[in-house]
C-alpha cells in the first residue's frame, strides 16, 4: 500500500498519540499482572502484552460512533476504543466502580458509551456480533470491527459470517490478530490451507500486515475502514503479532521455543515506535507521554483498590430491561 505523506507535525501528533495509547495498554496490563499475583484480580486473565499495535492501530482509524467487538483478551481493544482506565481497572478488580459494576470481569467487558459492544468469551463470537452491528450502523455510514485471534479462523462463526457479510455487503472489518498460537497449540498444526486463501475464497479483500508496527496497522485499517464505509462490503486484515506471555494465568508458555519468543520481543511495537520518535526528534515528547501514562495507570489502580466491592445486599438486579 502507498501511505500518504503526512506533514511532519501531523505525523508526530499521530505517532505520539499511538505511542501513548500503546503505553497505556502495556502499563495497564503490567500493573494488572502485578495485582493478579497479589490476588486482587480474580479468576483468570488473558494479557495483551505484545499485541498493542493491533488494537491501537485499528481503533485510531475509527470514528467514536463505530462499533467494536473484542475477545476475552480484550483489555487492549477496550482501552483503544475509549473505555476509561479507571473503570476498567476497577472492573477487573471486581469493584463497584467498574465499567460494568464488577458484574462482567476480564472476559466480558461491555461499554456501549464508547461503542464496545462486548468482549466475547466464546472464540469467534466477536465475529458474529460485529457482523450484526454492521447491519445497524450501515444506516449511518458506520463501521463495525471484529477483533479475533488466529484460533477463531477455524470456527464456523468465521466462515458463516464472512459469507454473510459479503453477501449483504456489510461494513465490517474483520481483524485477525494472528499471535501464532490457539491457546497452547501452534496454528500450523491445526490449520489446513492458508488464511488469505480462505478469505479470498469469499471474495473479500484481505491483507496481511506487520501487526507489531502500529503505523502499518493504522494505514491498512484506514483503507479497510474506508472500503467498508463506502458501501463496498467487508474487509479482512490479518495482523501478524505475538503475545509475550502465555495464554492465560495458568500458562507459562513453555511450549514456545525461546528463540521464537526472543525474536518477537525484539519486534516489540512500543520500542519500535519510540525509536522512530527519537529519530524524528520527539524523544522528549515521548518521555513526557511515558510520565503521563505511568501516572494515569498508577492513579487508576490506586483508585480501584480503594473503591468498594459491590454490596450483595444492595445489588438489585433487574434481570430484564
Partner 1 sequence: MSTLEFREAIRQAIEEEMARDENVVLWGEDVAAAGGVFKATPGLLETFGADRVIDTPISELALTGGAFGAAVTGLRPVIEIMFGDFMPLAMDSIVNQAAKTWYLSNERQAAPIVVRSAVGAGGRFGAIHSQNPATWMWSVPGIKIVGPAFPHDARDLLVAAIQDDNPVVFLEHKRLYSIKHEQPDWEPARLGQANVVRQGDDVTVVSWLKGVHDALAAAERLAEHDVSAEVIDLRGLRPLDLDTIVTSVERTNRLLLVEEGPALGGWARGVLGAVSEHALDALDDAWVLATDEHPIPYTPPLEDAFLPGVERIVAAVLERAGIRA
State yes or no: residue 129 binds partner 1 (CB under 8 A).
yes
| Member of 121, 169, 187, 272 binding partner 1 (CB under 8 A) | 121
| Member of 6, 8, 113, 291 binding partner 1 (CB under 8 A) | 113
Looking at the chain, list the stretches that DSSP marks H as alpha helix, in order from N- to C-terminal side: 8-37, 52-59, 75-81, 85-92, 125-137, 156-167, 187-190, 195-201, 214-229, 258-265, 269-279, 283-306
- Beta carbons of 236 and 268 less than 8 angstroms apart: no
The distance of closest approach from Cβ of residue 172 to partner 1 in the complex, given in angstroms and rounded to an integer, is 9
Binding part of the chain for partner 1, among 17-25, 29-37, 113-121, 216-224 by CB under 8 A, reads 113-121
The contact pattern for partner 1, residues 139-158, with x = CB under 8 A and - = no contact, is: x----x-----------xx-
**Nearest residue (CB) to partner 1, 25 versus 127:** 127
SS3 category, 72: coil
- Beta carbons of 212 and 241 less than 8 angstroms apart: yes
Burial track 62-93 (b if 16+ CB lie within 10 A, e otherwise): beeebbbbbbbbbbbbbbbbebbbbbbbbbbb
State yes or no: residue 104 binds partner 1 (CB under 8 A).
yes
Burial track 130-169 (b if 16+ CB lie within 10 A, e otherwise): bbbbbeebbeeebbbbbbbbbbbbbbebbbebbebbbeee
| Member of 71, 131, 206, 212 binding partner 1 (CB under 8 A) | 131
The distance of closest approach from Cβ of residue 143 to partner 1 in the complex, given in angstroms and rounded to an integer, is 12
State yes or no: residue 122 binds partner 1 (CB under 8 A).
yes
- Beta carbons of 53 and 214 less than 8 angstroms apart: yes
Return the number of other C-beta atoms located less than 10 Å from residue 210's C-beta: 17
State yes or no: residue 57 binds partner 1 (CB under 8 A).
no
**Nearest residue (CB) to partner 1, 279 versus 321:** 321
State yes or no: residue 84 binds partner 1 (CB under 8 A).
no
**Nearest residue (CB) to partner 1, 17 versus 135:** 135
C-alpha span between 130 and 103 (Å, rounded): 22
C-alpha span between 173 and 142 (Å, rounded): 11
The distance of closest approach from Cβ of residue 281 to partner 1 in the complex, given in angstroms and rounded to an integer, is 43
- Beta carbons of 144 and 180 less than 8 angstroms apart: no
Binding part of the chain for partner 1, among 1-9, 41-49, 109-117, 283-291 by CB under 8 A, reads 109-117
Return the number of other C-beta atoms located less than 10 Å from residue 294's C-beta: 14
C-alpha cell at 65: 460512533
**Nearest residue (CB) to partner 1, 258 versus 319:** 319
Q: How many residues sit close enough to partner 1 to count as binding (CB under 8 A)?
A: 44
**Nearest residue (CB) to partner 1, 118 versus 211:** 118
State yes or no: residue 120 binds partner 1 (CB under 8 A).
yes
- Beta carbons of 202 and 189 less than 8 angstroms apart: no
State yes or no: residue 199 binds partner 1 (CB under 8 A).
no
- Give the closest residue to 123 by CA, choosing from 46, 225, 212: 46
The distance of closest approach from Cβ of residue 216 to partner 1 in the complex, given in angstroms and rounded to an integer, is 28
Contacts for 228 with CB less than 8 Å, ≥ 6 apart: 134, 143, 170, 171, 172, 173, 234, 235
**Nearest residue (CB) to partner 1, 19 versus 120:** 120
| Member of 23, 54, 70, 137 binding partner 1 (CB under 8 A) | 137
The distance of closest approach from Cβ of residue 259 to partner 1 in the complex, given in angstroms and rounded to an integer, is 38
Footprint of partner 1 on this chain (CB under 8 A)? 67, 69, 99-101, 103-104, 108, 110-113, 117-118, 120-122, 125, 127-137, 139, 144, 156-157, 160-161, 163-164, 167-168, 317-321
Amino acid at each position: 500500500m502507498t501511505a500518504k505523506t503526512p506533514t511532519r507535525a501531523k505525523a508526530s501528533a499521530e505517532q505520539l498519540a499511538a505511542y501513548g495509547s500503546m503505553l497505556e495498554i502495556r502499563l495497564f496490563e503490567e500493573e494488572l499482572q502485578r495485582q493478579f499475583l497479589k490476588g486482587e484480580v480474580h479468576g483468570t486473565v488473558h494479557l495483551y502484552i505484545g499485541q498493542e499495535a493491533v488494537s491501537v492501530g485499528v481503533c485510531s482509524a475509527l470514528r467514536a460512533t463505530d462499533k467494536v467487538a473484542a475477545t476475552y483478551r480484550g483489555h487492549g481493544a477496550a482501552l483503544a476504543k475509549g473505555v476509561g482506565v479507571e473503570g476498567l481497572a476497577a472492573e477487573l478488580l471486581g469493584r463497584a466502580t467498574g465499567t460494568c459494576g464488577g458484574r462482567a470481569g476480564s472476559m466480558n467487558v461491555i461499554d456501549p458509551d464508547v461503542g464496545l459492544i462486548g468482549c466475547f468469551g466464546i472464540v469467534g463470537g466477536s465475529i458474529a456480533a460485529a457482523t450484526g452491528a454492521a447491519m445497524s450502523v450501515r444506516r449511518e455510514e458506520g463501521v463495525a470491527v471484529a477483533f479475533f485471534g488466529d484460533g477463531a479462523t477455524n470456527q464456523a462463526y468465521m466462515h458463516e459470517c464472512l459469507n454473510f457479510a459479503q453477501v449483504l455487503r456489510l461494513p465490517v472489518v474483520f481483524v485477525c490478530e494472528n499471535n501464532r498460537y490457539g491457546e497452547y497449540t501452534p496454528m500450523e498444526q491445526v490449520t489446513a490451507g492458508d488464511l488469505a486463501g480462505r478469505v479470498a475464497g469469499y471474495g473479500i479483500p484481505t491483507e496481511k500486515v506487520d501487526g507489531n508496527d502500529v503505523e502499518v496497522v493504522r494505514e491498512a485499517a484506514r483503507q479497510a475502514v474506508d472500503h467498508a464505509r463506502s458501501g463496498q462490503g467487508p474487509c479482512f486484515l490479518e495482523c501478524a503479532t505475538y503475545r509475550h506471555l502465555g495464554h492465560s494465568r495458568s500458562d507459562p508458555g513453555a511450549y514456545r521455543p525461546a528463540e521464537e519468543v526472543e525474536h518477537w520481543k525484539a519486534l516489540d511495537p512500543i520500542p519500535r515506535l519510540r525509536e522512530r520518535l527519537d529519530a524524528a526528534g520527539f524523544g522528549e515528547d515521548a518521555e513526557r507521554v511515558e510520565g503521563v501514562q505511568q501516572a494515569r495507570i498508577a492513579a487508576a489502580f490506586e483508585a480501584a483498590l480503594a473503591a468498594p466491592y459491590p454490596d450483595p445486599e444492595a445489588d438489585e438486579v433487574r434481570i430484564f430491561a
